[in-house]
Amino acid sequence: MSGAANCAETPRQKMIGMMYLVLTAMLAINVSASVLKGYAMVDDSMHFSLLTSARRNEGLYKDFDALYQKNPTKVKEWLDKAHKVKEESDKFFNYIETFKENMVKLQIKDKYVKSDTSTYTRALEDAGNYDVPGEYAILMGNGEKFEEAMNEYSHFLQDLVKSDPVKVATYKNMFSTEPVNHVEWPEATFEHMPIGAVLAVLTKYQNDIRVAESEVLSFLKSQTDAADLRVNKLEALVIPKSQYVMKGAKYTAKIVLSAVDSTARPEIIVGGSTVKDGIYEVMCSKIGISKFSGMIKLTGNDGNVITRPFESEYIVGEPSATLSNEDLNVVYRGVDNKFRISVPGFADDLVSIKPVGGTATKVNGKYIIKPTQDGEMTINVFAKVDGKDMQMGSEKYRVKYLPDPKSFLQYVDGGGVPRNIQDGTLSKRALKGAGVQIIASYGDDVLIKANFQVVSFNMVSPFGNTPQQGCKFNNKQMSDIDKLEGGDAITIKNVKAVGPDGKIRSLGMIQITI
């Protein structure tokens, strides 16, 4: 619908305006008084339907309140939604009522007297007026606001019944604002339409609101027990907190009455795969705590799918045995004593130790034990049970110093490889080499890894007995070696060495012949 221009009209515009007035007059002539009277009768009839719907809805709200009194926990969610339905329905209903009243006021102006809504159409001076609907809805912008309000209400209803595709389609169509024959909804509804017809259409929308409100309330009421499952079998189940219980610990189990419907099997999904017959099985290859989660799906009595998530965990331990050799129940001072400690039935990460008289460090699943006192030390073993450390056993160990190593003369052969000699023949050149030193070692058959350092020794040769601090020959000793001839010999004695345990040891002699 066009409005007045802000500048003088051209002759062509005046001619178009005249033609528009003539066309409007011809349309008005085509709407007979009997047709307009029919609109008023339809409007009155729908008002009667509105009263019937309102009484029915009032009864549904009372039913909801009664259900809530019996079971507040179960019904509260749906009662809250019902209250929201009433709030939104009344809001849109009253918006349309104000829309209708404002159009009537626009036509009869100061002659308007507020009265029962059924008299809106009959109060009109000219029910065939085409100008008022277009002016109020199109020119004044109220048609777009009406469209927005109806879309908002339609989406609200669709969201409430989204589990029922048929109902979603019904409300989408009932409150549709789609274009009509390529004409936008506000123009198609209000422009060039007699006000009597528009009022009847608006009352029809009000009636649709009350009908939709009633249907949605009935749907919500049915949901209060739609998720209740019908059962035909009861089973007593004992669900222990743990299958492993140690002496002194508590056994905890949850005893429940399980109600099932043997005719409706739920779908159990773990890790994206369906679990057959409700039995979850998995090969255990990873030591420690393993967790898993999933969901149970069951179709309810209303056809909706009920979904419940779950999660749990289990413990995987490595098969193990505890062995003890009482004759070798020894730990050495100054070195890493490696222990592998386990408790059958418990994962490695649930086991810990607390030594008395020493320290313990866990490295790659093993324990490094270092005594800090002489005599003996105790290793106490604990396992985590119900979040608390429970002692699983203990063992006492004798604390001893490391066995004495042997003394060797170390030199570098022609291939650059270090060699150890204790009693044998060696060339003068090799004996004077840069890599020659006196060492202390357990040799090739080592059972315990420990580093020893030679702190002093004496060299006896045909030219005298020369002491030395450290592990290498001094200048006097090197001079005496240089004087040696074939068949001469040197003796290394009074070798002193210190180990990681701090003890200084006196080692055996070394005999070298040139």
Give pLDDT tens digits for 68-84: 888 888 788 888 999 99
- 464 C-beta neighbours (distance < 10 Å), count: 10
* pLDDT at site 169: 92
User: Which whole-number Å values give the CA distances from 311 to 81, 251, 266, 314, in the listed order?
Assistant: 31, 22, 17, 11
Grouping H, G, I as helix, E, B as strand and the rest as coil, residue 244 is coil
Q: Could you tell me which of 148, 152, 43 has the C-alpha nearest to residue 89?
A: 152
Give pLDDT tens digits for 283-292: 777 777 778 8
* pLDDT at site 228: 59
Report the interhelical angle of 195-223 vs 165-174 (nearest 10°).
160
User: What type of residue is 287?
Assistant: I
Q: Which residues contact 289 (CB under 8 A, 6 or more apart)?
A: 313, 314, 315, 316, 347, 349, 350
pLDDT above 80 (res 229) = no
Q: Could you tell me which of 77, 81, 79, 133 has the C-alpha nearest to residue 104?
A: 133
101 vs 42: CA distance, rounded Å = 18
Q: pTM for the full model?
A: 0.44
User: Which whole-number Å values give the CA distances from 457 to 88, 432, 441, 503, in the listed order?
Assistant: 103, 17, 15, 16
Instruction: Label residue 64 by pLDDT band (50, 70, 90).
Output: confident
* Residue linked to tokens 């749907």: 219
DSSP class per residue in 260-308: E-TTSPPEEEETTEEPGGG-------S-EEEEEEEEEEEE-TTSPEEEE
Helix (H) or strand (E) holding 470: none
pLDDT above 70 (res 120) = no
Instruction: Label residue 5 by pLDDT band (50, 70, 90).
Output: very low
Buried b (16+ CB within 10 A) or exposed e, 386-412: eeeeeebeeeebebeebebbbbbbebe
Average pLDDT, rounded, for the chain = 80
pLDDT above 70 (res 393) = yes
Give pLDDT tens digits for 294-336: 888 877 655 667 778 888 777 666 655 565 555 567 888 888 8
Residue/partner pairs of 288-294 with CB below 8 Å, 24 or more apart:
288/315, 288/316, 288/347, 288/348, 288/349, 289/313, 289/314, 289/315, 289/316, 289/347, 289/349, 289/350, 290/314, 290/315, 290/316, 294/268, 294/269, 294/270
Give pLDDT tens digits for 158-184: 999 888 888 999 999 999 999 988 899
Q: What six digits make up the tokens of 159?
A: 């969201």
Residues 80 and 66: beta-carbon distance below 8 Å: no
